[in-house]
Amino acid sequence: MRRDELLDAAERLLADQGGHALTLAAVADEAGVSKGGLLYHFSNKDALIRAMVERLIADFDELMAEQKQESYTRRYICATFAAVRSGRLRRWAVVTGAAGDPSLLEPLREAMTRWHTEGLDDEPDPMAAQIVRLACEGIWDVGSHAPDLHSAEHLGELERRLLTLLA
């Protein structure tokens, strides 16, 4: 079984049953592997959570790299909306909620610092860029907790408005 399939199983458990359900035995059962098969990839629950957090960061970095916009903040906006539309951001809430140990979220804190500071000096209006990036955080949060709240049309309008704020 591939590592990503095990992470998918852990995320399904978190989304469906909450953090209390995240045990190595439950993840192995959800993935259809032995506990030993799971332990081959993740030595303990903290390693599993850390891997989920790292995958979330890598997924968003990948979305950022795929964007063809000219500025970092414009790429950030487009990546955020691409993630919301695809449902990829929905995992953020369940994974970060599972991390009982604050040190497990340290990679996420580092990524957030990078995402919210990188390229600001190159923006025509750095304060507007910061405001827009923070608005994207709100969109991530709403997209994680209430994914059906906004229609595709409404998300498109929100994205256009945020891009316009940078003009």
**Inside any domain, residue 135:** yes
Residues 122 and 78 in one domain: yes
Q: Do both 113 and 143 map to the same domain?
A: yes
Q: Is residue 51 part of a domain?
A: no
Angle between the 90-98 and 3-17 helix axes, to the nearest 10 degrees? 80
Looking at the fold, whether 13 and 86 belong to one and the same domain comes out as no
Whole-angstrom distance, CA of residue 70 vs CA of residue 95: 31
Model confidence, pTM:
0.85
Residue 40 corresponds to which tokens in the numbers above? 């081959």
Gyration radius of the chain over CA positions = 17
What six digits make up the tokens of 84?
């919301």
48, part of any domain: no
Tell me: the pLDDT tens digits for 62-113?
Answer: 999 999 988 999 999 999 999 988 877 666 666 666 666 778 888 888 999 9
Query: Which of 100, 23, 12, 7 lies closest to 57, judged by CA?
Result: 7
Residues 28 and 67 in one domain: no
Any domain includes 29: yes
Are 26 and 98 part of one and the same domain? Answer: no
Q: Are residues 27 and 70 in the same domain?
A: no
Cβ neighbours, 10 Å, residue 151: 9
Q: In this structure, are 106 and 154 located in the same domain? A: yes
Tally of domains within the chain: 2
pLDDT (tens digit per residue) in 100-153: 677 888 888 899 999 999 999 999 999 999 999 999 999 988 887 788 899 999
What is the residue range of 144's domain?
Answer: 56-165
* Relative orientation angle of helices 72-86 and 152-165, to the nearest 10 degrees: 170
Integer Cα distance of 53 and 37 in angstroms? 21
Is residue 129 in some structural domain?
A: yes
Cα–Cα distance measured from residue 13 to residue 9, given in angstroms and rounded to the nearest whole number: 6
Which tens digits make up the pLDDT trace of 44-56?
A: 998 998 898 899 8
In this structure, are 86 and 118 located in the same domain?
yes
Domain of 26: which CATH number?
Answer: 1.10.10.60
